[in-house]
Amino acid sequence: MKLFLASGNRHKQKEMQEILSDCEILIPADVGIDFNPEETGATFYENSLIKARALYELVHEPVIADDSGLCVESLGNAPGIYTSRYAGPEFMHGYPDGHKMPQNEQNENLILQLNATGSKNRRCFYVCAMVLLINSERFFVAQETFEGELIDDIKKQAGNGGFGYDPIVYLPQYKKTVAEISAEEKNRISHRGKAARAISDILKNLNKQV
């Protein structure tokens, strides 16, 4: 089955292809579509549905969309839905001109922002809200989380796997950052991996009904 992923992120495409191995996962760029919908939702779920509907209108094929982000408890669950645009405490929603801060700077700024609170609570969690849009009238949703702790010094970042904030999110039970665990292990325990498996189960049930 062919599924379009409402993202321009090749890392996400690779993760989804590994998890949904029975499907062919395409992103808009694979078919020459420039895709950058405005994410105006107030929640991960709302943004995911916005992206799914926007891409469906272009491809008229089943679409998977996810909106994911990192929430830091002591920062009021920021950066949350603004994770990809986060540019430090003064620009939580991103720079006004749309310029994106490099990921390594985002990582360091988030650590410094948490350190500045003086809080000993370094707990954080990823959220993934994933939508499977079959057609304009029918869709399914799965939302999952993945917990860890934010490291206290950018010099402690570790690992070459994953992407985004993965090198600075520490998993006490593994004594590793998210970027240090294998792709297979990450897909098994991560927010996106769990949500994708829930969507996979939905797809299997739908296929049985055909």
148 is in an annotated binding site: no
Whether residue 60 is annotated as binding a ligand: the answer is: no
Residue 3: CA count within 13 A, CB half-sphere: 26
The reported pLDDT for the residue numbered 64 is 97
pTM value surpassing 0.85: yes
Mean pLDDT for 97-105 is: 81
Name which of 13, 129, 1, 130 is nearest 62 in CA terms: 1
* pLDDT higher at 9 or 173: 173
Domain ranges of the chain: 2-209
Residues annotated as part of the active site: 67
Q: Is 10 annotated as a binding residue?
A: yes
The highest-level CATH class for domain 2-209 is alpha beta
pLDDT at 19: 84
